[in-house]
Amino acid sequence: MDLSYRKKISKTIIYILIIAAAAIIQNTKGLTIEIGEARCFLLLPVTIMIGMGEDEGFAGILGLIGGLFWDLNSAVHFGFNAAFMCISCFCCAALVTYIIRNTFISNFVFSALSAFAYAFLYWLFFIIIKGVHGAELSLFSFYLPSAVYTMLTAPFIWFFINWIKKKLNAPIKA
């Protein structure tokens, strides 16, 4: 479907505003519900679901923007979130473009896989390899429960994102 230049720009701005809103909700204490110690990695499913069905380069840029928003809140590992989300969004968009259909199941599976991959890699790179004493069990007390929490919120996020994408990709009425 061909969109006009003006509609493409407005779609991009709306996507970036949605990602910024998700970053604010995720990174501001009290705006999200914490279950025990688990927190929702809201930016992962939002950026992946927005990027799926779009061009791979555009999806990678959206992931990079989402990761930079997440990294702005971090003082320790600047760049990890941006790199991880850029690669994740690019790969998911490429798979949807060339191999898999853009359905609810594919959105859910890719969001869940990215949440678990993020939790494990973050735990490995910034907890285990750095040698934080006594933090080995944080994988089971924080990171995996947070990934499960993120996975459980993905269907609700998909309905919202899918509704917005349908509105933004509607054909131009003459």
Banded pLDDT at 174 (limits 50, 70, 90): low
Q: What is the reported pLDDT for 16?
A: 96
Banded pLDDT at 13 (limits 50, 70, 90): very high
Q: Which of 130, 125, 128, 88 is nearest to 109 (CA)?
A: 88
Q: In sequence order, what are the residues at sequence separation of 6 or more whose Cβ sits closer than 8 angstroms to the Cβ of residue 103?
A: none
Q: How far apart are CA 61 and CA 58, in angstroms?
A: 5
Instruction: Report pLDDT digits (tens) over 123-144.
Output: 988 888 877 777 778 888 889 9
Higher-pLDDT residue of 73, 174 = 73
Q: Which of 73, 67, 28, 40 is nearest to 51 (CA)?
A: 67
35 - beta bridge partners? 38
Instruction: Report pLDDT digits (tens) over 82-126.
Output: 999 999 999 999 999 999 999 999 999 999 999 999 999 999 888
Per-position DSSP letters for 37-87, written without gaps between them: TB---THHHHHHHHHTTS-HHHHHHHHHHHHHHHHTT-SS-TTHHHHHHHH
pTM for this prediction = 0.90
Q: Which of 18, 89, 84 is nearest to 60 (CA)?
A: 89
The answer, yes or no, to whether residue 164 has pLDDT greater than 90, is yes
Q: What is the reported pLDDT for 115?
A: 95
Give yes or no for a contact between 62 and 22, defined as CB atoms under 8 angstroms apart.
no
pLDDT, mean of residues 14-22: 95
What is the percent of the chain with per-residue pLDDT over 70, rounded to a whole number? 97
